[in-house]
């Protein structure tokens, strides 16, 4: 329910944490963040929900590294038990 300015560094750090000890280069993360920024600008809105940004990160990580995707999903989607994590993994495997 609060508002805050878009923070590129905060976004990079969140993605970097999800990609820790994964074969994802800093260049790949920068590219993903650049794509997210471009997509946000294309929306042409002054304000964008953090949910929209989070969904864009999820989509990007899904393409780059599925383990990083699951790590991010656990925090972002508030997955608090093994069943919900397994359901998300099953969803990932089906797509």
pLDDT, one tens digit per residue, over 58-85 is: 999 999 999 999 999 999 999 999 999 9
3-48 pLDDT, tens digit per residue, is 888 899 999 999 999 999 999 999 999 999 999 999 999 998 989 9
| Model pLDDT, residue 21 | 96
Task: Please report which confidence band the pLDDT of residue 95 belongs to, taking 50, 70 and 90 as the band edges.
Answer: confident
Looking at residue 70, its pLDDT comes to 96
Distance of CA 51 to the CA centre of its chain: 10
pTM (2 d.p.)? 0.89
pLDDT at 46: 87
Closest to 14 in 3D by CA, of 79, 72, 60: 72
Q: Where are the alpha helices (DSSP H) in the chain?
A: 8-18, 26-43, 50-64, 66-76, 82-94
Q: With contact defined as beta carbons under 8 Å apart, do 37 and 8 qualify?
A: yes
């Amino acid at each position: 329910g609060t508002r805050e300015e878009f923070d590129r560094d905060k976004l990079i750090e969140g993605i970097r944490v999800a990609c820790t000890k994964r074969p994802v280069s800093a260049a790949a993360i920068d590219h993903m963040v650049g794509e997210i920024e471009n997509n946000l600008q294309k929306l042409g809105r002054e304000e964008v929900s953090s949910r929209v940004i989070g969904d864009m990160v999820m989509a990007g990580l899904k393409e780059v590294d599925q383990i990083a995707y699951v790590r991010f999903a656990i925090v972002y989607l508030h997955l608090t038990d093994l069943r919900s994590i397994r359901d998300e993994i099953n969803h990932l495997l089906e797509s």
